Amino acid sequence: MYDSLSGMTIKQWSVPAHLPSAQGSLDWSRAAPLKYQEPRGGRVRPLVDIAIRTLAKNIGLVSKEHLEALPAHILGRLWLFLEARGGACLHAWKIFSELLMTGEQNDPALDLYRFRQHLCHPEEELKLYIQPLNSASVDFISHIIISGNCIFQGNELLALADMKNLGVLELIKPADGIFASFPQVNDRIIRGWSEAVDPFPLLRVLKIWGDQTVTEVSLRWAAKFPSLVLYDVIAGKDGWTSACEEAKATGWTVSQQIARSEDMSILRYLMLFAPSEDMAMKRFFDLSRSIDDDLINLSRDARCVLKHVSYNEAPPLLDCLMDSAKVSVIQPDISRKAVPTETQFCHEAAFEAWAFWLYSLIGQLSGDRDMESRGIGPKQQTVAGPFVLPSKPMACLFLGHSGHGGITSKPSYISRGLFATKRFTFTRLEILKGIIPQNTRLAAGAANSEIAPKRQASVKHNKRKRIEDVLGSFG
């Protein structure tokens, strides 16, 4: 509409009204953790400010169609308003991530590319939590952690296999000392997943921790997931007496364990796939601490500016980390902020950092072949400084508590004795090269039933040795 008096062109549209929602009536993905307080009166506020505040209070009721007609700078202001007041809900993040990351915004920030939320006491059925995280078109990758205080039944876990965009799954039995409920996880669950139609097409990482859960038999079923390259297990020793033999028979490689103090580092996970050729053990320990600090601090920096580059122009992630000139790009040694070791407020923990960077590295090493074979291969990549991010935005949900204080990096399972459990990490490096193991299940007629040609990757992983060789050389 053109206003001849002012010379302005006005766009006007109507939005159907909704009754105010009762507290708790919105599902978790639409209930923003917004710490909103109406400002005190005293002066007249601009109309735009009033509109932004009203939208923020009702963001769970707003659809993409309501927002896509708004100018980019107004969308940016609304997003900053949400982030400054406790963060946006998943529903809002999916909308803004699509509109602002793919739009003409010059400098998108990390908070548009990764989402995380922690629900301490999930009280509904599991399907109500995973449904908002499901994306049949794979607009984003999901990372789900299920731990203590979850009252789900074991058979509810079977629905996870149908998620086409699930990239990382963690089932973490809580520490014995907190006596929290946890769904029963066993070999039958893994087998049930493997019998689904096209199970876990983009699942690259599976972690199952807890005493008296899965056994070595689960290896044969986990091997049927086409994209799975890392299977991390803590379980009772009595169920893994022939782990090496079973792994060899089912296409897995058992990774050598390292010092207990370092086995939770992000660098340890990354080096399972592309270890440095000539790294001394002491240098590995020193780097694991500094690199972990850098990557976790970067994950916490919601305002970190991102850039888009062509797919083959993205710098190799591991090379950036191992280059001493680049390790301190984020924060030089003199000012690097160490990650606190004490228990943090559970809603502030960057619990997704290790999986975020590991998923990115696996994608680089494989050329995102799993996505490419399904027709959703990325045309460009996103970087934060020298560090390449996953090829799709990632949304992470942590359900429950894993230890005292909320979230712990490694729960203790001591009810049957201090040494009743053991940790195993299994990998399938052949998948990174496009070699599908013989017992891996592919969906009948699916696009990935034929191996897609690998993209030209700049990662120099062909020259690298496995971590077993590196660590074994030190005795």
Q: What is the mean pLDDT of residues 273-291?
A: 64
| Residue 472 confidence (pLDDT) above 50 | no
The pLDDT value given to residue 338: 54
Beta bridge partners of 143: 168, 396
| Residue 474 confidence (pLDDT) above 50 | no
How many percent of the chain have pLDDT more than 70? 75
Q: Is the distance from CB of 370 to CB of 201 less than 8 angstroms?
A: yes
At 294, the pLDDT band (50, 70, 90 cuts) reads confident
At 335, the pLDDT band (50, 70, 90 cuts) reads very low
Pairing of β 307-310 and β 380-384? antiparallel
The pLDDT value given to residue 446: 47
At 41, the pLDDT band (50, 70, 90 cuts) reads low
Write down the domain spans for the chain.
Answer: 13-106, 109-472
How confident is the model over 120-177, as pLDDT tens digits? Answer: 989 899 999 999 999 999 999 999 999 998 989 999 999 999 999 999 999 999 988 7
Beta bridge partners of 398: 118, 145
- Between 463 and 105, residue with greater pLDDT: 105
Run of H or E including 356: helix 353-366
Which of 302-311, 348-357, 368-377, 449-458 is predicted with the least confidence, judged by mean pLDDT?
A: 449-458
| Residue 351 confidence (pLDDT) above 70 | yes
| Residue 470 confidence (pLDDT) above 50 | no
Cα(388)–Cα(357) distance, integer angstroms: 9
Q: What is the DSSP letter of 403?
A: B
Tokens at 311, concatenated: 């797919």
Q: What is the DSSP letter of 178?
A: G
| Residue 469 confidence (pLDDT) above 90 | no
The pLDDT value given to residue 450: 44
Which of 197-201, 300-304, 328-332 is predicted with the least confidence, judged by mean pLDDT?
A: 328-332
Q: What is the DSSP letter of 208?
A: E
Helix (H, G, I), strand (E, B) or coil at 192: helix
* DSSP state string for 415-472: TT-TTSEEEEEEE-GGGGGT---TT----TT-GGGSPPPPPP----GGG---HHHHHH
Q: How many CA atoms lie within 13 A of 428 on its CB side?
A: 30
Cα(368)–Cα(455) distance, integer angstroms: 8
The pLDDT value given to residue 95: 95
Residue bearing tokens 């493997």: 194
Nearest to 470 by CA among 319, 258, 328: 258
Nearest to 391 by CA among 362, 428, 427: 362
Cα(286)–Cα(261) distance, integer angstroms: 12
The Cα-based distances of 359 to 206, 347, 363, 364, 367 in angstroms read 11, 22, 6, 9, 12
Q: Is the distance from CB of 143 to CB of 395 less than 8 angstroms?
A: yes
The neighbour count for residue 155, using CB atoms within 10 Å, is 13
What is the tally of helices (H) and strands (E) in the chain? 15, 13
> What b/e readout covers 298-329, taking b as 16+ CB neighbours within 10 angstroms?
bbbeeebebeeeebeebbbbbbbbbeeebbee
Q: Is the distance from CB of 374 to CB of 382 less than 8 angstroms?
A: no
CA 217 to chain centre: 27
At 256, the pLDDT band (50, 70, 90 cuts) reads confident
Highest mean pLDDT among 48-57, 216-225, 375-384: 216-225
The pLDDT value given to residue 117: 92
Please report, as a single letter, which amino acid is at residue 400.
G
At 447, the pLDDT band (50, 70, 90 cuts) reads very low
Q: What is the DSSP letter of 322?
A: H
Nearest to 113 by CA among 375, 332, 301: 301
Q: What is the mean pLDDT of residues 439-445?
A: 59
| Residue 389 confidence (pLDDT) above 60 | yes
Determine what percent of the chain falls in helix, strand and coil, rounding each to the nearest 5.
35, 15, 50
- Between 332 and 39, residue with greater pLDDT: 39
Nearest to 80 by CA among 116, 41, 106, 109: 109
| Triad 235, 133, 158: Cα angle to 5° | 45
How confident is the model over 60-77, as pLDDT tens digits? Answer: 999 999 898 888 889 999
CA 261 to chain centre: 24
